[in-house]
Amino acid sequence: MTFETDDRARVTLVPHPLGLRITGEIDRGNRHVLARALDWALLTGGTDVRLDLSGLTFVDVAGMRLMVVAAARLSPHRVLILDPVSPVVRRLLMMTGWENAPGLWVAH
């Protein structure tokens, strides 16, 4: 299943381990696609959710906030795993302090 926007971003379901591969750029114009995909992933199954962000070349603060809020929405025995993480995402997480957000696990 692919949640696709314009030519700037693609969000694709990864069935095992359950998660999403997010590539391209996430910003105000296509953030709704990420929101819809995260909602779907959180409702599917009772396992952790993995986001492959290795191909994410840009994400605005509101897009990153969507991921942080999604992590906080998970039940206590589940986490949102960011692995692998692009340098752009890692820098934004460090700048905002969100690398230690509840329910979020960031690969190092």
pTM: 0.92
More confident residue, 54 or 76: 54
CA 17/CA 62 separation, integer angstroms: 26
Work out the percent of the chain whose per-residue pLDDT is above 90.
Answer: 76
Backbone angles phi, psi at 48, to 5 degrees: -60, 160
What does pLDDT average to over the chain? 92
- Mean pLDDT across the stretch 85-89? 94
Q: Mean per-residue pLDDT for 16-44?
A: 92
- Residue 16 pLDDT level (bands cut at 50, 70, 90): confident
Q: Is the pLDDT of residue 6 over 70?
A: no
Which residues in 60-103 belong to E strands, given as ranges?
80-85
**Which domains does the chain carry?**
2-106 (3.30.750.24)
| pLDDT value for 58 | 96
pLDDT value of residue 20: 95
